[in-house]
Amino acid sequence: MKRSIATVCLSGDLRQKIQAAGQAGYDGIEIFENDLMLFNESPSVVRQMAQDSGLEIIALQPFRDFECMPATKMQKNFDRAERKFDLMEELGTDTLLICSNVSPQCVDNFELAVDQFGELADRAGRRTFKLGYEALAWGRHIRDYQQAWKLVRHVDADNLGVVLDSFHIFARGRDLSTLREIPGDRIALIQIADAPWLKMDVLQWSRHFRCFPGQGDFPVVEFMESVLETGYNGYISHEIFNDEFRSSPCKRTAVDGMRSLLWLEEEVARSVPDLVDTEAEAVSHLPPKASVRDFEFVEFAAHGDDNATLVNLITSLGFRKTHHHRSKDVDLYRQGDACIVINEEPDSFAQNHYLVHGLSVCAVAYRSDDADGMAERASWLGYRSFEGNVESGELDIPGIRGLGDELAYFVQRDDTGQRFYDVDFQPIESPALPPSAPGTNMRIDHITSGISESEFLSISLFYRALFGLDIAQPQDLIDPYGIVVSRTATSKDHRIRLPFNMSRSWGASTERFREQHKGSGVQHIALACDDIVAFVKRLDPSIQLPIPQNYYDDLEARYDLEPDLLDALRTHNLLYDQCETGFLIHFYTRAFNGLFFEVLQRTRYGNYGENNAHVRMAAQARLRMIEPSV
């Protein structure tokens, strides 16, 4: 598959866009006419810039409002086309992309359109140029790819092909049956774009909410499978209109675009290997499959009084120090299957992280069936590796740069079932809760990150492409000071749950955390236990987030709860939610440096307590007004 990107996808001037595309590893680039018009160098200079970056200029686009205009305007349209052909010669490209007419002056006359495109194809052919025709989903009379293909087929010119854009196809439905019938050599170009499913004006949807494959909800893998069935073997090119991409660093966006194409190729090759040359070739170039299975540990960067603050909180939650690292100033605290590592090692990554962010999560480790394979997969996708200081006899745990300044580790258990702490840590004597004590069988249920708006789509791709997680559609959470947009990444068996939140509102919970934390990172760690009511009765209530009594009055009105349960909820600042199959009981701790814990009990309940999110955010905002340091 030859990979390309349109300059409209990227921020900056044309030179910056071309350089970013070349550095990201694309083979080709589409030149968006506006980018060329606003550039202060000649088209021949642009041609040389592309060559220097190892890029083929695969097309100039778009040529607008051509067909079926009034007779007085058609000669001007042909003159415009000749000027574009001159420009293409200077650029060194042989293809002009034409989009269906959106002008109110355009008439609905199929035969006339066939004649006009026939003449345009003749003119282009005399100069050895090719034309690609694309149906815009909001076109005046031609607005879907079936109509565009009908026109191209009737013109019957070897140098005129149809452009198939996944956004325009899915914006009007999901019928790919006609696409599979188009001969591959009659397809001029495949343009790929993903998007969330939205009910809105299609033009606004297209202009603001397109994204890279794997970042949205469109069935882009199905689209590419249909494309390959046609025998098409040309470029696959991004054409993305997105507000965040226009305002984000172009190099980062270009790299994410390349990752998305790699992910898309992998998905297609694994699902239908016979469509990608031979099965052996299709699979041989792929990285190991994603293989994260659970959370192994969460690592905090801490020092001095902040360390004491964290230890006081987690020991109140039942954690006990069970191990100390053999060669580093690192302690391990455990509660059931949940492991928290606290790192105070001088001159380490953790302490550098602490100097920037204060008391914070600096790494999350994931249990994997193939830790080295996950590191190889990350490298294939262009994520940076991390190598720490490893002493003789210690585990060399593969790591990568993950969300924000945090690390992601991949930990693999050996055949004997040894855990990471059996090798790198020495056990210490520590008082522990009796094994039979209710609520002590804890595990990490989910880890929520607070991120910036510009990272929202990139993190979606990170979890989907690297981790192989399912990404849910975004949902809005109501904060007293704005809207928090939340999305979740979840493994098939729900052992790994990774919500991530962003907000455009400076006063909302997520942005308050990012301000205090000085950047994006883990904001919320949820711990699952087996009997939360018994657990909370042993808990020091001063660590809990207080919940207004009015909440419980509303809860009593909404649900038919047993009086004893309702009284326990009210007494112990517990929140409650239910679904058709079960219920959730949970509470939150007070925050430290913007970060907080949640303890929950699930009973046939698969969600995240979203119905209580506004209660939690309002309680946190109220507490922050009373105690500004919280």
> Which structure tokens are listed for 575?
């929140």
Residue 581 has pLDDT above 90, yes or no: yes
**What are the pLDDT digits (tens) for 292-302?**
999 999 999 99
Same-domain status, 186 and 303 = no
- Is there a single domain that holds both residue 164 and residue 229? yes
Supply the angle between the helices 14-24 and 250-271 in degrees, to the nearest 10. Answer: 40
Q: Tell the burial category of 237 from Cβ atoms under 10 Å away from its Cβ (0-12, 13-18, 19+).
A: buried
Domain match, 39 and 88 both: yes
Q: Looking only at Cα atoms, what is the longest distance across the chain?
A: 92
Query: Beta 482-490 vs 470-471: how paired, if at all?
Result: antiparallel
Flag whether 229 is marked binding: no
353 is in an annotated binding site: no
- Do 280 and 305 share a domain, yes or no? no
Identify the helix (H) or strand (E) that includes residue 450. Answer: strand 443-450
pLDDT in tens, 69-101: 999 899 999 999 999 999 999 999 999 999 999
From 410, 459, 461, select the one nearest 293 (Cα to Cα): 410
**How far, in Å, CA of 365 to CA of 163, rounded?**
44
Cβ density class 406-442: b for 16+ within 10 Å, e for less: bbbbbbbbeeeeebbbeebbeeeeeeeeeeeeebbbb
- What is the bridge-based pairing of β-strands 521-528 and 575-578? unpaired
Backbone angles phi, psi at 568, to 5 degrees: -65, -40
Does the annotation flag 586 for ligand binding? no
Tokens of 560: 């038919």
Q: pLDDT band for 393, please (50, 70, 90 cuts).
A: low
Same domain, residue pair 86 and 6: yes
Amino acid at 22: G
| Annotated binding-site residue? 33 | no
β-sheet with 399-401: strand ranges across: 385-386, 399-401, 407-411, 360-368, 292-301, 338-343, 330-335, 320-325, 425-427
Say which CATH number the domain at 11 has.
Answer: 3.20.20.150
What tokens does 389 get?
């200081």
Cα 82 to its chain centre, rounded Å, is 42
Q: How confident is the model at residue 251 (pLDDT cuts 50, 70, 90)?
A: very high
Q: Do 44 and 160 belong to one domain? A: yes
Q: Does any domain span residue 562?
A: yes
Q: Look at residues 378, 393, 427 and tell me which one is the last residue of a structural domain.
A: 427
When pLDDT is averaged across residues 498-507 and rounded to a whole number, the result is 95
Please tell me whether 303 is known to bind a ligand. Answer: no
Instruction: Give the pairing of strands 596-603 and 583-588.
Output: antiparallel
Dihedral (Cα; 416, 419, 424, 427), 10-degree rounding: -100
Residues 583 and 560 in one domain: yes
Average pLDDT over residues 602-619: 95
Give the per-residue pLDDT at 283: 52
- Average pLDDT of every residue of the chain: 93
Look at residue 390 and tell me whether its pLDDT is greater than 80. Answer: no
pLDDT at 413: 84
Is 451 part of a structural domain of the chain?
A: yes
Asked if residue 435 belongs to a domain, the reply is no
pTM of the model: 0.93
Q: Are residues 218 and 318 in the same domain?
A: no
Of all helices (H) and strands (E), which one includes residue 511? helix 509-517
Segment 25-30 mean pLDDT: 98
**Residue 311: CATH number of its domain:** 3.10.180.10
Q: Which of 351, 467, 345 lies closest to 403, judged by CA?
A: 467
Instruction: Report if residue 433 sits inside a domain.
Output: no
Q: Show which of 427, 458, 474 is a domain's final residue.
A: 427
Q: How many domains does the chain have?
A: 3
* Model pLDDT, residue 280: 43
Question: Which class for 389: exposed (0-12), middle (13-18), buried (19 or more C-beta within 10 A)?
Answer: exposed
Measure the CA–CA gap between 100 and 440, rounded to whole angstroms.
64
Tell me if 17 is assigned to some domain: yes
Sequence-ordered list of residues with C-beta below 8 angstroms from that of 72, at least 6 positions apart, any chain: none
Q: Residue 382 and residue 378: Cα distance in Å, rounded?
A: 6
Instruction: Confirm if 397 and 420 have CB atoms less than 8 A apart.
Output: yes
Q: Which residues pair with 599 in a beta bridge?
A: 527, 587
Task: Report yes or no on 494 lying in a domain.
Answer: yes
The four Cα atoms 315, 319, 320, 321 give a dihedral, to 10 degrees, of: -90
**Predicted local confidence at residue 415, as pLDDT:** 78
Tell me the C-alpha distance between 456 and 101, whole Å: 34
What's the CA gap between 326 and 349, in Å, rounded?
A: 18
- Helix and strand element counts for the chain (H, E): 23, 26
Per-residue pLDDT of 253-281, as tens digits, reads: 999 999 999 999 999 998 887 766 544 44
- The two tokens of residue 458 are 């990139």
Range of the domain at 231: 2-284
Q: What would the pLDDT profile of 475-494 be if each residue is shown by its tens digit?
A: 999 999 999 999 999 999 99
- Say how many C-beta atoms besides its own lie within 10 A of residue 288's C-beta: 15
pLDDT in tens, 170-213: 998 878 989 999 999 999 999 999 999 998 999 999 999 999 99
CB 148 within 8 A of CB 101: no
Per-residue pLDDT band for 626 (boundaries 50, 70, 90) equals confident
- Do 276 and 344 reside in the same domain of the chain? no
Q: Is 208 annotated as a binding residue?
A: no
Q: Read off φ and ψ for residue 251, nearest 5 degrees.
A: -65, -45
- Kindly state whether residues 213 and 329 are assigned to the same domain: no
Residues 401 and 499 in one domain: no
Q: What is the mean pLDDT of residues 214-241?
A: 96
**Are both 272 and 298 inside the same structural domain?**
no
Give the confidence band of 389 by pLDDT, cuts at 50, 70, 90. confident
pLDDT of residue 7: 98
Q: Residue 437 falls within a domain, yes or no? A: no
Tell whether 436 is covered by a domain.
no
Torsion of CA 430, 436, 439, 445, to 10 degrees: 80
Residue 215: pLDDT above 50? Answer: yes
DSSP assigned state of 519: S
Look up residue 117 and give its amino acid: F
Dihedral sign computed on CA atoms, order 235, 190, 381, 450: positive
Give the pLDDT confidence of 1-15 residue by residue, as tens digits.
Answer: 899 999 999 999 999
191 is in an annotated binding site: yes
Cα-flanking dihedrals φ and ψ of residue 133, to 5°? -115, 130
pLDDT average, residue stretch 496-509: 96
Among 235, 267, 284, which residue terminates a domain?
284
Per-residue model confidence as pLDDT tens digits over 421-436: 999 999 997 655 455 4
